[in-house]
Amino acid sequence: MENPYASTHPEIRDAVRQLCLKFDGAYWRELDRERAYPTAFVKALTEAGWLATLIPEEYGGAGLGISAAAAVLEEVQRAGCNGAACHAQMYIMGTLLRHGSAEQKQRYLPRIASGELRLQAFGVTEPTSGTDTLALRTTAVKKNNSTYVVNGQKVWTSRAEHSDLMLLLARTTPRDQVEKRTEGLSVFVVDMREELGKGLTIRPIRTMMNHNTTEVFFDNMEVPAENLVGEEGKGFRYILGGMNAERVLIAAECIGDSRWFIEKATDYAKQRKLFGRPIGQNQGVQFPIARAYAQSEAADLMVRKAATLYEAGLPCGAEANMAKMLGSEAAWAAADMCVQTHGGFGFAEEYDIERKFRETRLYMVAPISTNMILNFISEHVLGLPRSY
C-alpha cells in the first residue's frame, strides 16, 4: 500500500534541495553581517521556475497548486536558506490570478514568471492600524477617471527595495460613506520603478534579523486607473482570499525551519561527547528533541490539510490559520531546543543556529500574530463572543 503520509512532490523537493546546496551557511552568514539582499539566491530560484509555481502555464509558469509551492518553500527553509527574501511573490499571486483582468494578467504574469519583473511587495499594514486592516488610512482618490491619487503610509512592507511591483490596499471610499466596514477598500498594482521619487518614498527598517523590510510613504502618488485590480471597493475580500495562501505557505516554511533545527540538534547530540559518552544518550537531551519532532510532525498534518482544502476550492480559513499558528510554534520550540542542545555553540555564528533562531521567531508575530489567530478560532470556529 502506498504511504498516504509520504512527503508530497518528492521530485520538486529533491530539485530544490540540490539548488540550495549552492547557497551554504557561509553565503547566508555574509549576507546577515552586511544586511544584504540574497540577489543570487532569488535569481537562481527564479531561473529554475520555482517562484512561478502558481502561475498558469499559459503565462509561462508551472501551473501547479499550493501544495507544490509549499513543498518548494519548506525545502528552502529545511536547507538552511531563507525564503522570506521572495516568498511573497507566491502568495500575492492569488489576488492577481483570481481578480485581475485579462489585460493585467497578460501584462504582468509572463514577465513575473520569466523574472523580468518582481512582485514581492505587499502594501497593507500601517503604523496606526497594524493588523486592524479595516482601519487603514491610506487613501486613493480618483482623478479625471484616468488615475488615482494615493496618500498615506505603509509599514513592514518587506522587499520593497528589491521589488518592481507592489500590491497596494488603499481606501477609495471614506469609512463614513460605506454601509459595512469591509467595503470601500481597493487593490492596485503599483509599478514602483515609475513612482519612486514621484510621490513614492521607501525607507528601510533595521530589525533583529536580515529581513529587508521597509516603511513606504505616498505623497500624491498617481496610479493609472487601469492598475485597479477587480472592482473598486471590493479589495478587502480579495486580500482575505490571498491571506489563506499566505498562511499555508508561511506554515510550510515553519515546518522546514523546525526540521532544520531538529536535524541539526540530533546530529550534534550524537557526535558531542561529555563525561565519556554522547550527550544524546541523556534523556534530558533526548526528550526535548523528541518533543520538538512530535510537535513538528503534528503541525505538518495541519499544513497538509489546509493545502488540500485550498486546492479543492473549499473553505479553509480555520485550517490555514491553525497551520500557521501550529507551524510557527513548532519552529520556535525546535529553535529553542536546538540552542539548548548546542549550549554555548548555539550562540556561535558559524553554526548558523543563532541566525535561524532570529529568523524563525518572526513567524510568531507576522504576517499575523498568534493572538489574532486565536481570536479567529474563538469567534468563527467556536462561536464565542467577539473580543476585539
What are phi and psi for residue 368, nearest 5 degrees? Answer: -145, 140
- Give the C-alpha separation, 319 to 306, whole Å: 5
- Whether 246 sits among the annotated catalytic residues: the reply is yes
Contacts 24+ apart (CB under 8 A), 381-387: 381/318
The residue annotated as part of the active site, out of 74, 75, 215, 246, is 246
- Grid cell at residue 198: 514621484
b/e burial code for range 305-330 (CB count within 10 A of at least 16 → b): bbbbbbeeeeebbbbbbbbbbbbbbb
Residue 49: DSSP 8-state: T
Q: What is the rounded CA–CA span in Å between residue 330 and residue 251?
A: 10
Separation of alpha carbons 217 and 225, rounded Å: 20
279 vs 25: CA distance, rounded Å: 25
- DSSP string over 129-173: TTT-GGG---EEEEETTTEEEEEEEEES-TTGGG-SEEEEEEESS
Catalytic residue numbers read 246
